[in-house]
Amino acid sequence: MEVMSSVTHSVDGPSSFHASPGALPSHKDATITSTYDWSDVLDRAYDVSDSGARGPRPYPLPPKSRKNKVLPEDLKTPDSHVERDPRLIRLTGVHPFNVEAPLSDLYDEGFLTTKDLHYVRNHGPVPLVEDSEILNWEFTVEGMVERPLKLTLRDLIRDYEQVTYPITLVCAGNRRKEQNVVRKTKGFSWGAAGLSTALWTGVSLGDLLLRAGIMRGARYVCFEGADKLPNGYYGTSVKLNWAMDPNRGIMVSYRMNGELLHPDHGKPLRIVIPGQIGGRSVKWLKRIIVSAAPSDNWYHIYDNRVLPTMVSPEASANLPETWKDERYAIYDLNTNSAACYPAHDEVLPLTGGPETYKFRGYAYAGGGKRVSRLEVTLDQGKTWTLANITYPEDEYKLAPENEILYGGRLDMSWREACFCWCFWDLDIPLAQLRDARDVMVRAMDDSMMVQPRDMYWSVLGMMNNPWFRVVVHKEGDTLRFEHPTQPTLAGGGWMERVKKEGRNIVNGFWGEKVAGEEEAVVEEPVKEICMVNKEVSRDIALDELREHDGDAQPWFVVNGQVYDGTKFLEGHPGGAASIIGGAGQDVTEEFMTIHSENAKAMMPDYHIGSLSPESLAQLAAGADESPSTSSSPRPVFLQSKSWSPAVLTSKTKVSSDTKIFTFTLDHPTQIIGLPVGQHLMMRLRDPSPSSGSDAIIRAYTPLSPPSAAGTLDVLVKIYYDKAAAKGGRMTQALDALPLGRAVDFKGPIGKFEYLGKGRCTVGGRERKVARFVMVCAGSGITPIYQVLRAVMGDEGDETECLVLDANRVEQDILCKAELDGMVERGAGRCRVLYSLSRPLASWTGLRGRMDRALFEREVGAPPVERDTMVLVCGPGPMEEVVRKGFGEMGWAEEDLLFF
C-alpha cells in the first residue's frame, strides 16, 4: 500500500520540496491512505519501481543483484555477518574489507553497479545491524543549530521528502597502484576500478539542516559514523554551503539500487556526496554536527589529503600543521579516465577478423563538472583523436514529471550538475594499432581542466590521474595489450615490468630509454628458496592441525604447508614461545617477514605435509588478520596468539637518529605482560588510514619495566635512507607514523627470562648466575638495560654486572644517564665501560672497536664454576667479534646468549 504526501513543487526553477510532517513522498497513481504499514518497508525496499507498471523506463535500471553468502575467509573475522561476492579483489588481506571489482566485470555491468561489484572502503569491522533494528536506528543533527534533532530512520522516511539520484562514488585512491610502483606511498594499491555507480535514495541533507535551523557563524557540516576504529569513530566534514546547495545533491541515504543498504555500504544509513571523493560519504551515520571549523576527527586530518609532492613519507610524521592545512584536503574529484577494453593481457589477432578494434572505457569529473571530451593518442601525444562519449545520466532527465523511483522523487530535468561517470569508445584500425607502441587516453571537463601527462606523486598516493597508457606488444600475428598495473600486490603491468628492467618510469618517456640517460641499477632477482621436502606427500586435515595447537607438539602452517616445530623448540633463537604462539595457525605473514634466508632453507627438515584446499580456506577464515576489537577490559596487554593494538601518543628524540616511541594501551591499569629478558613483536601496516596489508614485523625490547601499566615505551634507532644504501624499512615507517595511529603488538617471545636473584631460564632450562657480562652496541642496549635494571633494582639481588657498551661517538650512547645512575647505586655490583670508535679528543673513556684484547682485559677466562653468563645484543659484525673472541678465550657456546 502506497501513500500520498502533501508536497509543494516550485515550477519556476530547481525542485524545492517541503514534506508535511507525517507524510511520505507522493507516488503517482498511488492509493491514498491515512496510515502507513511499517512492516512493508523491508519488502518494498526491493521493489523495482514504486510507480506501477508503465512500460519501459527511459532511463537505466540496475542489473539484478546476486544472492551471496558469507565467504569462508570472513567467517572468523568481525565481519562474519556480511555476505559478499567472491569476484571482488581484496586489497588489504582478509580484513578489513577493501575491494574493487575486476575492471572488465565492472565495465560489463554497465552504467549502474550492483551492490555485489560496488567497490568497498572499510577502515575496520562492519557494524552489525539486524533487520529488526533498522527503522529504530538513531542519528542526531547537533552543534550550531537552533533546534537539535534526534531522529530514527523511521522518522526520516516518514517526515521528509525522499529523492532518488544516480551517483558515482570514487575512492580518492583510485589508480594508486601506479603511484606505489613509482615510489611507495602510505596507501594500499587500488587499481583502476575504485569507483562504482548506483541509484541512491534518501533525504536531501539541506532539508534536515533547514529543519534544525542554522546558527550564524556556522560554516561546516561534520559527519561521524558508528565504525569504532583505533583512532576513534570515523568522521569528516564538508562546507555548509555545499550541503545547502541543491546542485550539490548531498543526501542522507538508506537505499541503494532500490534495496536497503548492504552492510558494507553503510547499512542502515549513510551520507552520499556526489562529485566528491568517497571518503567524505560517511557510512553507518550516527552524528551530523554543524560547526564553525572543519572536523577535528583524526581521519579527517590524516586521510584524504594531497600533500605537496616534496613531502616524503618519513618527513610527513613530523608535520602536524601540514596535515591540518585545509588547503591540502581533498573534496571534489579531479578529472580522470581509464581504458577497460582491451583488458590487461588481452590478445587480438591481426588477421581473420574485423579491421578495427573498439577501445572502450570510462571517464569522470568532480564537483558537478561534466566530461566534455575524451581524446586518444597513438603517437604519445603528438596527435589526438576525439572519442565518442555517452552520458547515461542524461537519460534520467527524460523521466516524467513527479516520477517516483524506489520511494524517492526522480527530478533531474532542471539540474546542470553532473553526478556520474560516462563512457567513451573509439574504433581504431588494426593497421594503426600494429604500428603503435602504445595507446593513451585523457579526458577534459567543461572547465577545460585536462588530465596531466605526468604523475603528481604525493605521500598518500591519492587523486592519481595522469594519461592512462596501454602498451601494445607485437607478438607474431597478434597484438597483446598491457595496462599500467594490476591491483593489490598482484604482479603485472608495464610499469612494474619497466621498473624491474631497471628503467626510470618517471623520466618523461614512460621508462623508455632516451639518449644520454644512464641505465638504472637492475635489482638482483630474489633467490627462490625451497621450503618443502619434495618426498613428503601427506595431506593434513584442519582437524588434525588443530590437535597440535599447544606446546606439546606444535604444528604450524606457512604458505599452505604444515611444519612440526617440536624438534626445534629448544634451538629456536626466538624461544619456544615463538613456535608455540603460532601452533595450529597460519603464520605465513610473520614467518616470511621475520626469518632469514638461512632459516627458510632449514624448513624442509620440519615439513610434514600440506593442507587440503578446503582446510586452507577454513584456516584462512579464522586467520587473525586484524587486531582484536573486543571491548571487554583485559588485565594483560600482550597476547601470544593474537595481535593487540596500541596507539602511538608521543615521540621523544634522544639522539640524531633515535627516538622513544610511547604507545597507550587499552586502559590505564593494563600491564604490558612482558617477562624480563623477553621481547615483543611489533607489526606496522602503513602509517596512513589508506594503508593496506603490506605488513612489516620486527622484534623489539621495550624500555618500559614489567610493572608499567597503561603505556609502552620502545626505544628505536632509525636507519634512514642514504645515497649508498637503503635504510631500515621498519624504523623509517615507524618514524613516519603520525601520532594517534595504532600499531599491533604480539608476544612475549624469546628464549631467555630473568627470574630474579641470579636465577634465569634459557630455553626453558633454569640456571643460577653470579655474574652477567653484557656486551652491546647502539640500540642493542634495550634488552641489556631491561635485565640490568631488574638486577640493580633489587637490593637483595647480589648478581654482579659488567656492561661493555660500544658506539661511534658520545652522542650515540643511549640511556647513559640511567646506566651511570645504576653504577652509583650499585655499591660495586655494577660496572659500565663505554668504548667509542670515533671519539673526540676530550673523550676519557675507552677508544676503538671491541676486540679480544678488551675482553681478555676486562672479562678474562671463564670461571671454573661456570656461574657467569654473557648477554650480547648488537649488529652482526659485533656479534661475530664477540663469538670469536670469547670462543678463543675458552668460553662455552651455552654461556653466550645472543638476543
Same domain membership, residue 765 and residue 648: no
| Residue-by-residue DSSP string for 122-171 | -SSPPPP--GGGGGG-EEEEEESBSS-EEEEHHHHHHHS--EEEEEEEE-
CA 625/CA 687 separation, integer angstroms:
17
Query: 19: helix, coil or strand?
Result: coil
Q: Let me know how long the chain is.
A: 899
Contact of 441 with 669, CB cutoff 8 Å: no
CA 229/CA 629 separation, integer angstroms:
9
Query: 404: helix, coil or strand?
Result: strand
CATH number at residue 424: 2.60.40.650
Per-residue confidence (pLDDT) for residue 560, from 0 to 100: 83
How far is the CA of 660 from the CAs of 115, 653, 657, 699, 779, in angstroms?
46, 6, 11, 15, 11
Amino acid at 263: P
Contact of 783 with 679, CB cutoff 8 Å: yes
Q: Which residues are annotated as a binding site for Mo-molybdopterin?
A: 171
* HEC profile of 475-497: ECCEEEEECCCCCCCCCCCHHHH
Per-residue confidence (pLDDT) for residue 589, from 0 to 100: 66
The count of domains in the chain is: 4
Task: Answer with the one of 714, 749, 784 that is the final residue of a domain.
Answer: 749
Q: Which residue ranges of the chain lie beneath pLDDT 50?
A: 1-53, 521-526, 623-630, 687-693
* Structural domain harbouring 486: 336-394+418-500
Task: Answer with the one of 749, 767, 798 that is the final residue of a domain.
Answer: 749
Same domain membership, residue 741 and residue 787: no
CA 729/CA 136 separation, integer angstroms:
48
Q: What's this model's pTM, rounded to 2 decimal places?
A: 0.67
Per-residue confidence (pLDDT) for residue 80, from 0 to 100: 92
How would you list the strands of the sheet with 120-121, edge to edge? 89-90, 98-100, 120-121
Same domain membership, residue 798 and residue 892: yes
CATH number at residue 592: 3.10.120.10
Same domain membership, residue 373 and residue 440: yes
CA 535/CA 538 separation, integer angstroms:
9
Per-residue confidence (pLDDT) for residue 160, from 0 to 100: 96
Same domain membership, residue 718 and residue 680: yes
For the chain, how big is the Rg over CA atoms in Å?
32
**Residue located via cell numbers 581524446:** 375
* HEC profile of 682-695: EEECCCCCCCCCCC
Quick count: other Cβ atoms within 10 Å of Cβ 346? 15
CATH number at residue 677: 2.40.30.10
Contact of 693 with 93, CB cutoff 8 Å: yes
Closest Cα to residue 186, out of 686, 684, 741, 733?
686
Query: Pairing state of beta strands 830-836 and 800-807?
Result: parallel
Query: Pairing state of beta strands 232-239 and 696-700?
Result: unpaired
Same domain membership, residue 804 and residue 726: no
Enter the DSSP assignment of 670.
-
Q: Is residue 110 part of a domain?
A: no
Q: Is residue 756 part of a domain?
A: yes
Same domain membership, residue 461 and residue 543: no
- Angle at CA of residue 422, ends 420 and 428, nearest 5°: 165
Contact of 293 with 221, CB cutoff 8 Å: no
Same domain membership, residue 736 and residue 687: yes
Same domain membership, residue 660 and residue 615: no
Per-residue confidence (pLDDT) for residue 25, from 0 to 100: 37
Q: Is residue 342 part of a domain?
A: yes
What is the CB-side half-sphere exposure of residue 749 using CA atoms within 13 A?
A: 24
Per-residue confidence (pLDDT) for residue 622, from 0 to 100: 55
Residue 695: which residues within 8 A CB-CB, separation 6 or more?
589, 593, 683, 684, 685
Closest Cα to residue 814, out of 677, 655, 686?
655
Q: Is residue 552 part of a domain?
A: yes
Query: Pairing state of beta strands 138-143 and 149-152?
Result: antiparallel
Same domain membership, residue 607 and residue 550: yes
Task: Answer with the one of 749, 781, 816 that is the final residue of a domain.
Answer: 749
Per-residue confidence (pLDDT) for residue 316, from 0 to 100: 83
CA 292/CA 813 separation, integer angstroms:
49
Q: Is residue 787 part of a domain?
A: yes
Same domain membership, residue 886 and residue 785: yes
CATH number at residue 780: 3.40.50.80
Where b means 16+ CB within 10 Å and e means fewer, 417-429 reads bbbbbbbbebebe
Per-residue confidence (pLDDT) for residue 286, from 0 to 100: 98
What are the grid coordinates assigned to 346, written together?
588481452
Residue 707: which residues within 8 A CB-CB, separation 6 or more?
671
Q: Which residues are annotated as a binding site?
A: 171
Closest Cα to residue 139, out of 294, 266, 19?
266
Same domain membership, residue 492 and residue 350: yes
Q: Is residue 116 part of a domain?
A: no
* Diameter of the chain measured on Cα atoms: 103
How far is the CA of 86 from the CAs of 174, 200, 261, 404, in angstroms?
21, 24, 19, 33
CA 95/CA 125 separation, integer angstroms:
8
Q: Is residue 218 part of a domain?
A: no
Per-residue confidence (pLDDT) for residue 623, from 0 to 100: 47
Query: 636: helix, coil or strand?
Result: strand
Q: Is residue 176 part of a domain?
A: no
Active site residues: 171, 303-304
